[in-house]
Chain A
């Protein structure tokens, strides 16, 4: 619930570079016969020449069984939207990650391996073919995705893996994947170092449980299984690059994976619900006494309640949360669940949209019990990355208007104090109430009609012809119904931006042609790749 918008902690482990050997259309590694064999497949072929040494094929550590029968290598070609020229398709990216087969002819991987993808192929051990694959479900908020291979018989020889529980601290785990350093499957082992909430950098706004392991995992490990006793205990997904911290890697633990699988069981992914509150630990004795709390180390203090969230009207700033669904909340915000101590959000984390949570609170020293029906509050989405959507924008008279969000902010690398403030405090200062879209005049395509308008760049639209503008759709509407003169007021005390509609109309084609603008606006957040995927299926 306490989400932070600091950008880029750990790095994702997707090998996003296309390696040299990949780009050369050379045939698959043509090693001398018998020199390097795909493990487990070729025992029957004795080396043609009995020469030593026989390179030992990678044999999986015994406890986990033949993992190569479950592991796949995923190559995804993605189109990342161009927030600076949002009418363009965007830049092509190619990445390599891992995935593993689970029940129901499905392959589990990370969302960041297949996000924004336009074409996905899957390879497996001992099979020279590349199989086209499709995304079934993608959960960008917890960095998981399910894909499948339509080709008949693909799954016939594959062994679906089973999911385990949360491994104990210091127990040994093995990570499988296709990290840099070679073509074939790699295994590394390590121990479970820490179990804690972490920022998931794929969306960079969501925090969930994550397990830190000491196994070396590197770009290309993304989406690969981390196993213990023949069961999957996690999906490798992010880590720190070597110049930040050594040997710190994270995997997505099974509670998160199971939740994802359960969420999609109704045919769609509904995302994580959230209480949408901020809270503070209650460790100060005077504060506890003031609030009328017993000396029992229980309770956390509600700071802000987001009005666009499910707790609005139910919880208030100053309430003390005492227990959640029967789990007592300690004053350091932890609860005990399944014998593990974890942050009390974990209770909400395992719930689904539409579920309820029962919270015992203390309000003005009076105990109360409230029930909160959960859903996902929308305002957080601007503070995270978006995937598989086309950027929204309106281009009018060469002026590009875009709603403020993380992707847009990163694309322009703005240091503008006001923009950064509106972004950081979008939720806490309730900016979203008056400005569900913080519409920024982000760029100007130069044309005689806008030659004097450069100083307005970076401004946030407040009103057009005296009417407050709350959303991009309203702005588009205001432009469409413009009288002869348009007066755009920006937030702050700058001058108004004045446009002559007739001149703008006259310049439209000219600007479109000059800058190769295919479409003057996109108001819908909706799909980019899904359309293509749907067409593929037909």
Chain B
């Protein structure tokens, strides 16, 4: 049963056409090719957080990449590149001149970030890239890379598919260009701009060298990001909070009371989300969003791309706060609901899907290490985390909306045990979910930190969902042993709760 995205984006059609209309006349500048390529090198040094030893950071990494120079002195890169950065540096392609840069806006879900050089004049003399949103299947796009000399290396490829695909943090799906292209390896091919007629059409998302297929973040998503970034506060891509299923099966359609041959069946509406607030229900058949009809596969006809999944209908051009009319059939009767879209932040999930650029919370209690379940933690098991991480935790993360419909909580886990005097006999415990501490229910690490302060008759009692069900510590021994524990295991601080 394919789970479709919770996120639905919205489009206001007028917005599309105006954007296009505005950008089109920019073509005339073709005659004078820019003097210097609108690319800079971006050098990033960073350190990820170590979720297995949450008090410390991992060894530093460095990445060399490219950035696309945009108007108003900004440089566009992928969020991937500057995630967990300590220092970002821009380097002029030809002169090698360098300056520090700040990350002004970052959107992990859309995998985009905007950099600004510390020295305002640093980008002077570079003609910024404009953005073109009219790419369609069959167009040729050039991937721009730089030779060591600073000369442009352009490789052409063909856009083969435009469809909704998951992005790295895997929240919903976003519009993606798939390009068949024989990319060449260069030292700094991390963020590679894709260009059409000297205008920015997309940004490299991932590349598979065996199949020579490249996925790109398309211009409409970039445009959305930039427009949002121009505002006071960056709001992020909106979400609706429902999942759906195609109605290809006539029996299902008939059961749902659908007369026509279109629409998607709503399978889940999460509490507190825009869909829930607007009154959308499981079993509804959504037949149109805005003025676009949705077919039985969940596609609508896009003026540019033809048939594409309706979540894109909403993609690049609806913003948090927009009100989108949903037309639906409920028990065979037509209805209309207006959804006010909101961005759903990572912290609004029970098991946050990502947590970047912020240190993980933890609490060390006499050698027992407590953490909150998050996908970021599970991803510490590497690219195959879904198979290799503790399966019970993967299950809880994956089915969190089903297991914790109330949503307003975290899952606190006893993630590991550092051998110490107070934890003798507990050494093998790991990945247990904590239900109570000293008789108090635990729904976050803060709850736990609070509860351990009130030992019962000198003991701290921890209850877990899994065996052994209960663990007791001597409160005074825990306190007494803390300094040596910190010293032995190099734990700078015994807790981080923010």
Contacts and interface: CB of A to CB of B under 8 A. Distances in A.
Given A280-B468, A418-B395, A286 B473 contact: yes
Contacts of A303: 467-469
A285 B472 CA distance: 9
B267 A281 contact: no
A337 interface: no
A318 B387 contact: no
A150 interface: no
B265 interface: yes
A284 B254 contact: no
Interface stretch (B95-103, B336-344, B422-430): B422-430
Interface stretch (A184-192, A203-211, A451-459): A451-459
Given A282-B425, A493-B268, A494-B245, A452 B467 contact: no
B468 A301 contact: yes
B252 A498 contact: yes
B248 A452 contact: yes
Interface in A456-500: 456, 458-459, 485, 487, 490, 492-500
Interface residues of B, number: 42
Contact of A289 (B386, B392, B461, B474): B474
A323 B332 CA distance: 67
A425 interface: yes
A283 B467 CA distance: 15
B426 A284 contact: yes
B459 A290 contact: yes
Nearest to A289: B474
Contacts of A286: 422, 459, 472-474, 477
A317 B471 CA distance: 12
Contacts of B470: 301, 317-318
Contact of B249 (A289, A420, A428, A452): A452
Interface in B235-253: 243, 245, 248-252
Given A492-B402, A499-B251, A284 B245 contact: no
A498 B251 contact: yes
Contacts of A499: 251
Nearest to B268: A493
Interface in B27-57: none
B2 interface: yes
Contacts of A287: 425, 471-472
Given A281-B425, A318-B469, A494-B267, A424 B1 contact: no
B466 interface: yes
Contacts of B250: 452
B259 interface: no
Contacts of A497: 252
A285 B474 CA distance: 9
B386 to A, nearest CB: 8
A301 B251 CA distance: 54
B398 interface: yes
Contacts of B401: 493
A428 B467 contact: yes
A458 B467 CA distance: 29
A418 B399 contact: yes
B459 A428 contact: no
Given A415-B387, A493-B282, A495-B267, A283 B399 contact: no
A421 B468 contact: no
A516 to B, nearest CB: 26
B425 A498 contact: no
Contact of A425 (B255, B392, B469): B392
B398 A417 contact: yes
A424 B254 CA distance: 38
B288 interface: no
A428 B466 contact: yes
Interface string A406-427: 0000000001011011001100
Contacts of B268: 493
A495 B252 CA distance: 8
B129 interface: no
B395 A417 contact: yes
A339 B395 CA distance: 46
Contacts of A281: 425
B391 interface: yes
B394 interface: yes
B424 A459 contact: no
A500 B253 CA distance: 12
A117 interface: no
B254 A498 contact: yes
A497 B1 CA distance: 11
Contact of B395 (A282, A284, A421, A498): A421
Contacts of B265: 495
A134 interface: no
Contacts of A485: 251, 255
A420 B474 contact: no
Contacts of B477: 286
B425 A492 contact: no
B394 A417 contact: yes
A494 to B, nearest CB: 4
B391 A304 contact: no
Contacts of A284: 423-426, 471-472
Contacts of A493: 243, 267-268, 282, 401-402
Contacts of B395: 417-418, 421
A301 B464 CA distance: 14
B350 to A, nearest CB: 15
Interface in A98-156: none
Interface string B408-426: 0000000000000011111
A405 to B, nearest CB: 18
A291 B423 CA distance: 16
Nearest to B427: A283
Contact of A455 (B245, B399, B422, B474): B245
Interface in B69-97: none
Contact of A456 (B1, B391, B394, B402): B1
A189 to B, nearest CB: 37
Chain B CB count within 10 A is highest, among A281, A286, A304, A425, for A286
Contacts of A283: 424-425
B423 A317 contact: no
A108 B359 CA distance: 63
Contacts of B402: 492-493
B25 to A, nearest CB: 47
B394 to A, nearest CB: 6
B284 to A, nearest CB: 12
A307 interface: no
A176 to B, nearest CB: 40
Contacts of A494: 1, 245, 267
Nearest to A332: B425
A303 B471 CA distance: 11
A280 B250 CA distance: 54
A278 interface: yes
Nearest to A500: B251
A357 B387 CA distance: 41
Interface in B448-498: 459, 461, 466-474, 477
A88 to B, nearest CB: 28
A281 B427 CA distance: 11
Contacts of A496: 252, 255
A500 B468 CA distance: 49
B412 to A, nearest CB: 18
Given A290-B461, A453-B249, A421 B392 contact: yes
20 contacts: A278-B468, A281-B425, A284-B425, A284-B471, A285-B424, A285-B474, A286-B477, A287-B472, A417-B394, A418-B395, A455-B1, A455-B245, A458-B1, A459-B1, A490-B1, A493-B267, A493-B401, A494-B1, A498-B252, A500-B251
Given A284-B471, A499-B251, 14 more contacts: A278-B468, A280-B468, A283-B425, A289-B459, A317-B470, A421-B392, A424-B392, A425-B392, A455-B1, A458-B1, A492-B399, A493-B243, A495-B265, A498-B255
Chain A to chain B: the 4 pairs with minimum beta-carbon distance, closest first: A283-B425, A452-B249, A280-B468, A303-B467
